[in-house]
Protein backbone atom coordinates (compact mmCIF):
# COMPACT_ATOMS: atom_id res chain seq x y z
CA UNK A 1 0.00 0.00 0.00
CA UNK A 2 2.71 2.41 1.00
CA UNK A 3 4.35 1.99 -2.40
CA UNK A 4 1.34 3.48 -4.15
CA UNK A 5 0.43 7.14 -4.48
CA UNK A 6 -2.76 8.62 -3.04
CA UNK A 7 -4.03 9.16 -6.58
CA UNK A 8 -3.70 5.47 -7.37
CA UNK A 9 -5.51 4.63 -4.14
CA UNK A 10 -8.43 6.89 -4.93
CA UNK A 11 -8.65 5.92 -8.57
CA UNK A 12 -8.47 2.18 -8.10
CA UNK A 13 -10.84 2.05 -5.15
CA UNK A 14 -13.24 4.41 -6.93
CA UNK A 15 -13.28 1.83 -9.69
CA UNK A 16 -14.62 -0.64 -7.14
CA UNK A 17 -17.29 1.84 -6.13
CA UNK A 18 -18.46 2.22 -9.71
CA UNK A 19 -18.39 -1.50 -10.50
CA UNK A 20 -20.73 -2.74 -7.74
CA UNK A 21 -23.74 -3.31 -10.01
CA UNK A 22 -21.90 -5.76 -12.28
CA UNK A 23 -19.68 -7.53 -9.74
CA UNK A 24 -19.21 -11.29 -9.71
CA UNK A 25 -19.24 -12.52 -6.10
CA UNK A 26 -18.10 -15.99 -5.17
CA UNK A 27 -21.00 -18.08 -3.83
CA UNK A 28 -18.93 -19.36 -0.90
CA UNK A 29 -19.03 -16.11 1.09
CA UNK A 30 -17.62 -15.85 4.59
CA UNK A 31 -19.63 -13.75 7.05
CA UNK A 32 -18.35 -10.22 6.90
CA UNK A 33 -18.68 -6.84 8.59
CA UNK A 34 -22.07 -6.22 10.22
CA UNK A 35 -24.54 -4.07 8.31
CA UNK A 36 -24.57 -0.51 9.65
CA UNK A 37 -28.00 1.13 9.36
CA UNK A 38 -29.98 3.80 11.23
CA UNK A 39 -32.00 0.98 12.78
CA UNK A 40 -29.04 -0.23 14.86
CA UNK A 41 -26.55 2.66 14.89
CA UNK A 42 -26.60 6.43 15.39
CA UNK A 43 -23.01 7.13 14.34
CA UNK A 44 -20.77 5.47 11.78
CA UNK A 45 -17.06 6.17 12.36
CA UNK A 46 -14.73 5.04 9.57
CA UNK A 47 -10.92 4.98 9.73
CA UNK A 48 -9.19 4.47 6.39
CA UNK A 49 -5.55 4.24 5.39
CA UNK A 50 -5.22 7.34 3.21
CA UNK A 51 -1.57 7.08 2.07
CA UNK A 52 -1.06 10.85 2.10
CA UNK A 53 2.17 10.06 3.91
CA UNK A 54 3.59 7.14 5.83
CA UNK A 55 1.18 7.06 8.77
CA UNK A 56 -1.85 9.15 7.73
CA UNK A 57 -5.43 7.90 8.01
CA UNK A 58 -8.68 9.64 7.20
CA UNK A 59 -11.46 9.47 9.80
CA UNK A 60 -15.15 10.19 9.23
CA UNK A 61 -17.99 10.37 11.75
CA UNK A 62 -21.30 10.11 9.92
CA UNK A 63 -24.62 10.78 11.63
CA UNK A 64 -27.25 8.19 10.64
CA UNK A 65 -30.24 9.66 12.43
CA UNK A 66 -32.63 12.47 11.61
CA UNK A 67 -30.73 15.44 10.18
CA UNK A 68 -32.60 17.84 12.47
CA UNK A 69 -30.82 16.33 15.48
CA UNK A 70 -27.55 18.00 14.42
CA UNK A 71 -27.02 21.76 14.49
CA UNK A 72 -24.44 23.76 12.54
CA UNK A 73 -23.02 24.99 15.84
CA UNK A 74 -22.43 21.51 17.24
CA UNK A 75 -18.77 20.61 17.77
CA UNK A 76 -17.35 17.09 17.48
CA UNK A 77 -14.03 15.69 18.61
CA UNK A 78 -12.34 12.30 18.60
CA UNK A 79 -9.88 11.75 21.42
CA UNK A 80 -7.22 9.20 20.46
CA UNK A 81 -5.05 7.98 23.33
CA UNK A 82 -5.59 11.30 25.11
CA UNK A 83 -4.98 13.55 22.08
CA UNK A 84 -8.06 15.44 20.91
CA UNK A 85 -8.77 15.79 17.17
CA UNK A 86 -11.37 18.31 16.02
CA UNK A 87 -13.76 16.91 13.42
CA UNK A 88 -14.52 19.32 10.60
CA UNK A 89 -17.36 19.08 8.11
CA UNK A 90 -21.08 19.60 7.99
CA UNK A 91 -24.11 18.77 5.86
CA UNK A 92 -22.85 16.72 2.90
CA UNK A 93 -25.24 15.56 0.16
CA UNK A 94 -28.11 15.02 2.55
CA UNK A 95 -26.02 13.67 5.44
CA UNK A 96 -24.10 15.11 8.35
CA UNK A 97 -20.46 14.05 7.99
CA UNK A 98 -17.42 15.17 9.98
CA UNK A 99 -13.79 14.27 9.35
CA UNK A 100 -10.23 14.57 10.58
CA UNK A 101 -6.75 13.23 9.81
CA UNK A 102 -4.64 11.23 12.27
CA UNK A 103 -1.53 9.09 12.39
CA UNK A 104 -1.72 5.45 13.40
CA UNK A 105 0.64 2.49 13.58
CA UNK A 106 -0.79 -0.63 11.89
CA UNK A 107 -1.59 -3.41 14.34
CA UNK A 108 -1.77 -1.04 17.31
CA UNK A 109 -4.76 -0.60 19.61
CA UNK A 110 -5.98 2.92 20.37
CA UNK A 111 -8.48 4.14 22.92
CA UNK A 112 -10.95 6.42 21.15
CA UNK A 113 -13.48 8.72 22.80
CA UNK A 114 -16.03 10.37 20.52
CA UNK A 115 -17.56 13.59 21.87
CA UNK A 116 -20.33 15.98 20.87
CA UNK A 117 -20.04 19.45 22.40
CA UNK A 118 -17.46 18.03 24.84
CA UNK A 119 -19.90 15.36 26.07
CA UNK A 120 -18.84 11.73 25.58
CA UNK A 121 -20.94 9.83 23.05
CA UNK A 122 -18.88 6.63 22.88
CA UNK A 123 -15.61 5.12 24.05
CA UNK A 124 -13.99 2.15 22.35
CA UNK A 125 -10.63 0.46 21.87
CA UNK A 126 -9.93 0.17 18.14
CA UNK A 127 -7.17 -1.89 16.56
CA UNK A 128 -5.77 -0.59 13.28
CA UNK A 129 -5.40 -3.45 10.76
CA UNK A 130 -2.00 -4.51 9.53
CA UNK A 131 -1.29 -3.83 5.87
CA UNK A 132 -0.67 -6.90 3.74
CA UNK A 133 2.79 -7.29 2.20
CA UNK A 134 1.66 -8.85 -1.06
CA UNK A 135 3.27 -10.61 -4.00
CA UNK A 136 1.04 -10.03 -7.01
CA UNK A 137 1.54 -11.73 -10.40
CA UNK A 138 4.02 -9.83 -12.55
CA UNK A 139 1.50 -9.90 -15.42
CA UNK A 140 -2.20 -10.62 -15.65
CA UNK A 141 -4.22 -12.51 -18.27
CA UNK A 142 -7.95 -12.82 -17.45
CA UNK A 143 -8.16 -16.14 -19.33
CA UNK A 144 -5.70 -17.72 -16.88
CA UNK A 145 -5.68 -18.26 -13.13
CA UNK A 146 -3.78 -15.68 -11.08
CA UNK A 147 -2.35 -16.44 -7.64
CA UNK A 148 -1.72 -13.74 -5.04
CA UNK A 149 0.20 -14.40 -1.82
CA UNK A 150 0.84 -12.08 1.09
CA UNK A 151 2.21 -11.76 4.58
CA UNK A 152 0.61 -10.12 7.62
CA UNK A 153 2.02 -9.59 11.07
CA UNK A 154 -1.35 -10.62 12.50
CA UNK A 155 -4.90 -11.42 11.49
CA UNK A 156 -7.58 -8.81 10.97
CA UNK A 157 -11.19 -9.51 11.89
CA UNK A 158 -12.15 -9.30 8.21
CA UNK A 159 -10.24 -9.83 4.99
CA UNK A 160 -11.24 -9.59 1.36
CA UNK A 161 -9.77 -9.58 -2.13
CA UNK A 162 -10.97 -8.00 -5.37
CA UNK A 163 -10.21 -8.03 -9.07
CA UNK A 164 -11.58 -5.27 -11.29
CA UNK A 165 -11.22 -3.90 -14.81
CA UNK A 166 -11.21 -0.56 -16.58
CA UNK A 167 -14.41 -1.66 -18.33
CA UNK A 168 -16.71 -1.88 -15.32
CA UNK A 169 -16.40 -5.52 -14.30
CA UNK A 170 -15.44 -6.84 -10.88
CA UNK A 171 -14.93 -10.03 -8.84
CA UNK A 172 -14.98 -9.96 -5.01
CA UNK A 173 -14.23 -12.60 -2.40
CA UNK A 174 -14.45 -12.48 1.39
CA UNK A 175 -11.58 -14.46 2.91
CA UNK A 176 -10.89 -16.10 6.25
CA UNK A 177 -8.71 -13.83 8.44
CA UNK A 178 -5.94 -16.47 8.43
CA UNK A 179 -5.75 -16.76 4.62
CA UNK A 180 -2.45 -15.73 3.07
CA UNK A 181 -3.07 -16.65 -0.56
CA UNK A 182 -5.83 -16.65 -3.13
CA UNK A 183 -6.07 -17.77 -6.74
CA UNK A 184 -8.41 -15.86 -9.01
CA UNK A 185 -10.18 -18.32 -11.33
CA UNK A 186 -10.01 -18.13 -15.09
CA UNK A 187 -12.40 -15.62 -16.63
CA UNK A 188 -13.27 -14.10 -13.26
CA UNK A 189 -13.73 -10.81 -15.10
CA UNK A 190 -14.42 -10.02 -18.74
CA UNK A 191 -11.55 -8.46 -20.73
CA UNK A 192 -12.17 -4.74 -21.31
CA UNK A 193 -13.22 -3.77 -24.81
CA UNK A 194 -10.73 -0.88 -24.77
CA UNK A 195 -7.93 0.31 -22.49
CA UNK A 196 -7.12 -3.11 -21.03
CA UNK A 197 -6.57 -2.13 -17.42
CA UNK A 198 -6.94 -4.35 -14.37
CA UNK A 199 -6.51 -3.92 -10.63
CA UNK A 200 -6.09 -6.34 -7.72
CA UNK A 201 -6.70 -5.34 -4.12
CA UNK A 202 -6.32 -7.02 -0.71
CA UNK A 203 -8.51 -5.44 1.97
CA UNK A 204 -7.99 -5.69 5.73
CA UNK A 205 -10.65 -4.50 8.18
CA UNK A 206 -11.54 -4.44 11.87
CA UNK A 207 -14.87 -3.56 13.43
CA UNK A 208 -15.99 -2.60 16.93
CA UNK A 209 -19.09 -1.02 18.44
CA UNK A 210 -19.85 1.08 21.50
CA UNK A 211 -23.56 1.32 22.12
CA UNK A 212 -25.04 2.76 18.94
CA UNK A 213 -21.68 3.92 17.54
CA UNK A 214 -19.84 1.78 14.96
CA UNK A 215 -16.06 1.92 14.50
CA UNK A 216 -14.61 0.46 11.26
CA UNK A 217 -10.93 0.56 10.28
CA UNK A 218 -9.39 -0.38 6.92
CA UNK A 219 -6.08 -0.89 5.12
CA UNK A 220 -5.47 -1.77 1.47
CA UNK A 221 -2.78 -3.23 -0.75
CA UNK A 222 -3.19 -2.87 -4.51
CA UNK A 223 -1.61 -3.64 -7.87
CA UNK A 224 -2.48 -2.21 -11.28
CA UNK A 225 -1.97 -3.86 -14.68
CA UNK A 226 -2.04 -2.32 -18.12
CA UNK A 227 -3.59 1.00 -19.06
CA UNK A 228 -6.97 2.54 -18.58
CA UNK A 229 -7.70 2.27 -14.86
CA UNK A 230 -5.90 5.49 -13.99
CA UNK A 231 -6.98 7.22 -17.20
CA UNK A 232 -10.62 6.20 -16.97
CA UNK A 233 -11.51 7.01 -13.37
CA UNK A 234 -11.22 10.29 -11.53
CA UNK A 235 -10.42 10.53 -7.84
CA UNK A 236 -13.71 10.23 -5.94
CA UNK A 237 -14.92 11.00 -2.45
CA UNK A 238 -12.78 8.86 -0.15
CA UNK A 239 -15.54 8.61 2.45
CA UNK A 240 -17.96 7.03 -0.01
CA UNK A 241 -15.25 4.73 -1.35
CA UNK A 242 -14.42 3.38 2.11
CA UNK A 243 -18.06 2.71 2.90
CA UNK A 244 -18.58 0.95 -0.43
CA UNK A 245 -15.63 -1.36 0.26
CA UNK A 246 -17.10 -2.14 3.68
CA UNK A 247 -20.42 -2.93 2.03
CA UNK A 248 -18.66 -5.40 -0.26
CA UNK A 249 -17.13 -7.06 2.81
CA UNK A 250 -20.45 -7.52 4.62
Give domain limits for the chain. 6-35+132-206+221-248, 43-127
Least confident residue range of 37-41, 82-86, 93-97, 137-141: 93-97
For the residues of 114-179, what is the DSSP string, one character each? Answer: EEETTEEEEEEEEEPPPPPEEE--SS--TTS-EEEEEE-SS--SEEEEEEEETTS-EEEEEE-TT-
Mean per-residue pLDDT of the chain: 82
Residue 245 confidence (pLDDT) above 70: no
pTM score of the predicted model: 0.82
Instruction: Say yes or no: do domains 6-35+132-206+221-248 and 43-127 share a fold.
Output: yes
Q: What is the largest CA-CA distance in the chain?
A: 57
Distance CA(60)–CA(107), nearest Å, equals 20
CATH architecture of 43-127: Sandwich (2.60)
Q: Could you tell me which CATH number the domain at 6-35+132-206+221-248 has?
A: 2.60.40.10
Residue range 120-129, pLDDT digits in tens: 999 999 999 9
- Tell me what pLDDT residue 49 has: 83
Amino acid sequence: MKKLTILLLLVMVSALMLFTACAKDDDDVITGIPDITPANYDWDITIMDADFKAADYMIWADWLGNSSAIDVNDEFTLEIDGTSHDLMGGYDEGDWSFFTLAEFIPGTQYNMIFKKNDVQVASQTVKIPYTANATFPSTFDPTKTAKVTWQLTGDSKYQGISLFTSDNDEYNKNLAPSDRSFTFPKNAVNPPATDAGYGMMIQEANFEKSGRVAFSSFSFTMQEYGQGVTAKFEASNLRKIAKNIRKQMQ
